[in-house]
Homo-oligomer: A and B are copies of this chain.
Amino acid sequence: MTVSIEDVAARAGVSTATVSRALRGLPNVSELTRERVRDAARALDYVVSPSASSLATGRTSTVGVVVPYVGRWFFGQVISGAETALRQSGFDLLLYTVGAEESRRRFFEELPVRRRVDAVLVLSLPLTDAEVAAIAGLRLPTAMVGASVPGFSSVRIDDVGGASKAVNHLINLGHQRIAMIHGAGIEPAQFTAPEDRRRGYLSALASAGLDYDSSLQVDGGFTLAGGERAMASLLSSKHPPTAVFAQSDEMAFGALRAIRRAGLRCPEDVSVVGFDDHEMAEMLDLTTVAQPVTEQGVLAVGHILAELRGEAAPSDDLVPTHVVIRGTTAPPTAKPMRARVPARSVARSAGSSSAG
Contacts and interface: CB of A to CB of B under 8 A. Distances in A.
Interface of A: 2, 47-52, 54-55, 60, 62, 65, 69-77, 79-80, 83-84, 87, 92-97, 99-100, 103, 112, 114-116, 224, 253, 265, 267-268, 279-280, 282-283, 285, 325-327, 329-330, 344, 347-352, 354
A253 to B, nearest CB: 7
Chain B CB count within 10 A is highest, among A75, A76, A83, for: A76
A103 B88 CA distance: 10
A279 B80 CA distance: 20
Given A116-B92, A285-B352, A354-B283, A71 B74 contact: yes
A6 to B, nearest CB: 15
Contact of A83 (B95, B116, B224, B267): B95
Contact of A55 (B52, B60, B93, B280): B52
Contact of A92 (B87, B94, B97): B94
Given A95-B83, A283-B253, A327-B349, A71 B77 contact: yes
Contacts of A100: 84
Given A71-B74, A80-B99, A349 B352 contact: no
9 contacts: A51-B60, A55-B55, A76-B76, A79-B97, A92-B112, A280-B280, A285-B352, A327-B348, A350-B350
Q: How many monomers of this chain does the complex have? A: 2
A103 B282 CA distance: 27
A212 to B, nearest CB: 29
A348 B69 CA distance: 35
Contacts of A48: 115
Contact of A49 (B55, B280, B330): B55
B349 A350 contact: yes
Contact of A84 (B103, B253, B282): B103
Contacts of A87: 103, 112
B97 A95 contact: no
B348 A47 contact: no
Given A70-B80, A330-B349, 18 more contacts: A2-B115, A49-B55, A49-B115, A69-B76, A69-B80, A71-B76, A72-B73, A84-B100, A84-B103, A92-B116, A93-B94, A93-B96, A94-B94, A224-B283, A280-B283, A283-B354, A349-B350, A350-B351
Nearest to A69: B76
